[in-house]
Amino acid sequence: MPVTIQQLIRWKQQSRTIVALTAWDYIIAQLLDAANVDLILVGDSMAAVLGYETTLPITLEEMLFHAKAVRRGIKRALMVVDLPFLTYQDIQQAMYSAGRVLKETGAQAVKLEGGYPAMLEIIARLVQAGIPVMGHVGLTPQSVHQVGLKQQGKTEEDAERILRDAIALEQAGVFSIVLEHIPADLALRITQKLSIPTIGIGAGVHCDGQVLVTSDVLGFSDRQPPFAKVYTNLREKITQAVQDFSEEVRARKFPE
């Protein structure tokens, strides 16, 4: 049965942990979906796979192109697509960008960063228009030049602000919130306070679900954030396979 937004909310009520990963093409999406990942995010962290230094340069067109390929690989998981930097900062632009994502890719929802007042208004309008929105607070990589990539919510004041933003996002109508790189006790407070699921990344074990960037998990990336866990090293394995192939070709051992 395909995963729905209502199912995610029921899973929170049943304390059934949600598994989420990112995807950027058909093959990765197919593998994650077949492995029963519940939520597949076409995250703008895909910028790293495309060779960008930060998530800022990635365009809506690039997100749409990759999201369409991901969609073709999914049978079961809920699919969410990030709106890239500066494609949702006023209501008309947000409606246009989110509308294109839902209409052209077949994703079920979009994700936006930030819980400040102007963003809350935009989110409320998208939700009223029938566009499911996932929130994202804590470390928001699209603000890298203002806040860096360090852990957020370390001071009591900052923790209170993030908690307030998360509550306001729920009131604005998001169906779930990503909590990125915040202390575990703050993630626990937010998770207990909200009736929608929290999906943590570098936010401790108490969230309703966990997400990681798949290129980190698979050891594709040349550098990972401190909270990522590398489950296999595909960089090494691919290099070895390519060297083996090259040697056999040069020695005329392949083809046999």
- Beta carbon nearer to ligand KIV, 22 or 108: 22
Q: Are 67 and 31 in contact (CB under 8 A)?
A: no
For residue 75, give both structure tokens.
Answer: 């049978």
Residue the block writes with tokens 């290099």: 239
Stretch that binds ligand KIV, among 42-50, 65-73, 118-126, 227-235 (CB under 6 A): 42-50
The half-sphere exposure of 238 on its side-chain side, counting CA atoms within 13 A, is 8
Is 180 a catalytic site residue? yes
Q: Minimum distance from CB of 242 to ligand KIV (Å)?
A: 27
Query: Out of 180, 236, 247, 256, which one is annotated catalytic?
Result: 180
- Beta carbon nearer to ligand KIV, 22 or 191: 22
For residue 66, give both structure tokens.
Answer: 């990759």
Q: Is the four-CA dihedral 230, 216, 19, 113 of positive or negative sign?
A: positive
The pattern of x and - marking residues 197 through 236 that bind ligand KIV according to CB under 6 A reads ----x---------x-x-----------------------
Stretch that binds ligand KIV, among 41-49, 118-126, 164-172, 185-193 (CB under 6 A): 41-49
67 — phi, psi (to 5°)? -65, -35
Residue choice 45, 105, 151, 191 for contact with ligand KIV (CB under 6 A) = 45
Q: Under the criterion CB under 6 A, does residue 176 sit at the interface with ligand KIV?
A: no
The pattern of x and - marking residues 123 through 142 that bind ligand KIV according to CB under 6 A reads -------------x------
Q: Minimum distance from CB of 41 to ligand KIV (Å)?
A: 6
Q: What is the identity of the amino acid at 239?
A: T
Q: Under the criterion CB under 6 A, does residue 44 sit at the interface with ligand KIV?
A: yes
- Beta carbon nearer to ligand KIV, 183 or 209: 209
Q: Under the criterion CB under 6 A, does residue 179 sit at the interface with ligand KIV?
A: no
Neighbours of 232 (CB within 10 A): 11
Q: Are 134 and 176 in contact (CB under 8 A)?
A: yes
Q: Under the criterion CB under 6 A, does residue 105 sit at the interface with ligand KIV?
A: no
Which residue minimizes CB distance to ligand KIV? 43
Burial 113-128 (b: 16+ CB within 10 A, else e): bbbeeebbebbbbbee
The DSSP line for 165-201 is: HHHHHHHHT-SEEEEES--HHHHHHHHHH-SSPEEEE
For residue 35, give both structure tokens.
Answer: 């492995």
- Beta carbon nearer to ligand KIV, 145 or 252: 145
The set of residues, in sequence order, having a beta carbon less than 8 Å from that of 225 and lying 6+ positions away, is 149, 181, 202, 216
Q: Are 29 and 73 in contact (CB under 8 A)?
A: yes
Q: Under the criterion CB under 6 A, does residue 110 sit at the interface with ligand KIV?
A: no
Q: Under the criterion CB under 6 A, does residue 82 sit at the interface with ligand KIV?
A: yes
Q: Tell me which residues touch ligand KIV (CB under 6 A).
A: 22, 41, 43-45, 82, 136, 178, 180, 201, 211, 213
> Which active-site residues does the annotation give?
180
